[in-house]
Structure 1
Amino acid sequence: MKFSNSIIVIAVAALLIVNCKNNNSKSDETATKSDAKKEVAAAVKPETASFTIDGMTCPEGCAKTIEKSLSEMEGVQNAKVDFDKKLATVNFDLDKLKSEDIVKTVEAIGDGQSYKVSNVKIGTK
């Protein structure tokens, strides 16, 4: 009985680890190179979008993956995702990007993970 309980615990732990892994399949070396900050030009038309993201299951795999994907978008000045509050804030250049593009990007992220964006609020930076 103890053996079967141990196997169940290990299986559940493995599922959680797989679910919360960073969905990025790059090698550590490639990931380190891409982690270098990109050059961000000053926004011609600065804008801020904040919104709720439902469907995140962990801060390291989900929230960080979303934050990184948003930060890498052309026109994004800064992106922050707060896992505990389920809140994302993105500063971007309205000349290069629309808030709808940001929402579509978030909802398209994930390997079988379903993220839902709601309560989108737009305000000038």
Structure 2
Amino acid sequence: MTEPKGPYHLVTVNTAPERAKRLIGRVADALKDRYTIIHVDNCENIEEVRPKVTQHMPEVLFSASMWSDEQAQEIHQIAREVNPNIKLHALPPGLQVERGPDAVVEYLCEKVPVLLEN
């Protein structure tokens, strides 16, 4: 058996920090045989992105589904300015509201390996 890749430090941008922590915990658990994912922090608003990315220098940042495409682009641009090598992913707007937390976990379990391997 091969060792999981990582650790990958992850910052989320989500107005519901407890939900972010719970969902990322489920994703990390589902993928733990392949990747070590550590959720280091959450930004509750766009203003927190620069200081928290600067503080933690995470390898990965996810913007949650409550942000519009424009807001997600802004979040990702700020994160890239701090860490040009950061891996970014925006959840599709409305995913949590329309399909619920299980759909978010399922979606991320599909997307995270692609993101981390590229």
TM-score by length of structure 1 reads 0.29
Judging by fraction of residues, say which structure has more helix: 2
Which structure has the larger Rg over C-alpha atoms? 1
TM-score by length of structure 2 reads 0.30
